[in-house]
């Protein structure tokens, strides 16, 4: 027997509340990690920052590692949403590559969630937890995304056909990783000339004759 409409609305509202509380907790965790490192994101601090109890954070994530993995998954989902919103897949291949790199570096300055990702990554690498981790999965996801853009540009004739698409995708990923790490060392670094130089370098190196 179908559930009454009022009951359906109640269930939907509860589901929305669960999603909202998890999103708030993850955003709070990202802000704390960006400000003070992974050790600063205790369940008590995350709950207080988000306006919830410590118990809810514990219930949602179970452990600090569970919270880190949930946060990385959330950040990847946000990246997918931003790609969809910017209609990146509709841009010509070379334009898509340059736009993504440009937007990434702009976000690096203003987005604490992105800074938090690299704080967590640095900790995972230091603890020898990089290989086979959620971070490795995320970097493979980026590699496939970037390689698809490059191949699309090659098929359309805007990117050199002789370019190794996979190697080029890994090179861009390594470049962005280096810039991201450097901002952890020097938060006051001026990213504008770096962003312009990277964009022009990619155009010069990738553009078909």
Tell me how crowded residue 107 is: count the other CB atoms within 10 A of its CB. 14
Domain-ending residue, one of 62, 78, 101:
62
Q: What is the pLDDT of residues 20-45, one digit of tens each?
A: 888 999 999 999 998 888 889 999 99
CA distance 190 to 96: 24
Q: What is the pLDDT of residues 179-208, one digit of tens each?
A: 988 888 888 899 999 999 999 999 999 999
CA distance 58 to 2: 35
Tell me how crowded residue 72 is: count the other CB atoms within 10 A of its CB. 21
Mean pLDDT across 71-83: 85
- Total structural domains within the chain: 2
What is the reported pTM? 0.79
Do the beta carbons of residue 167 and residue 58 sit within 8 Å? no
The model's confidence at residue 13, banded by pLDDT at 50, 70 and 90, is confident
Same domain, 140 and 195: yes
Domain-ending residue, one of 62, 85, 102:
62
Residues ≥6 apart with Cβ < 8 Å to 22: 60, 70
E-strand ranges in 28-166 read none
Whole domain around residue 21: which residue ranges?
A: 1-62
């Amino acid at each position: 027997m179908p559930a009454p409409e009022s009951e359906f609305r109640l269930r939907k509202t509860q589901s929305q509340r669960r999603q909202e509380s998890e999103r708030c907790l993850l955003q709070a965790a990202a802000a704390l990690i960006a400000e003070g490192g992974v050790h600063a994101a205790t369940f008590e601090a995350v709950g207080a920052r988000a306006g919830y109890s410590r118990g809810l954070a514990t219930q949602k994530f179970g452990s600090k590692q569970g919270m880190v993995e949930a946060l990385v998954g959330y950040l990847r989902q946000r990246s997918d949403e931003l790609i969809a919103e910017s209609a990146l897949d509709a841009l010509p291949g070379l334009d898509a590559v340059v736009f993504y790199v440009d937007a990434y570096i702009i976000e690096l300055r203003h987005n604490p969630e992105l800074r938090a990702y690299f704080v967590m990554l640095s900790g995972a690498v230091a603890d020898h937890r990089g290989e086979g981790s959620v971070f490795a999965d995320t970097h493979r996801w980026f590699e496939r995304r970037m390689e698809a853009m490059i191949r699309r540009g090659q098929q359309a004739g805007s990117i050199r056909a002789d370019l190794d698409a996979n190697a080029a995708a890994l090179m861009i990923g390594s470049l962005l990783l280096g810039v991201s790490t450097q901002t952890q060392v020097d938060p006051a670094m001026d990213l504008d000339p770096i962003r312009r130089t990277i964009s022009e370098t990619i155009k010069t190196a990738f553009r078909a004759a």
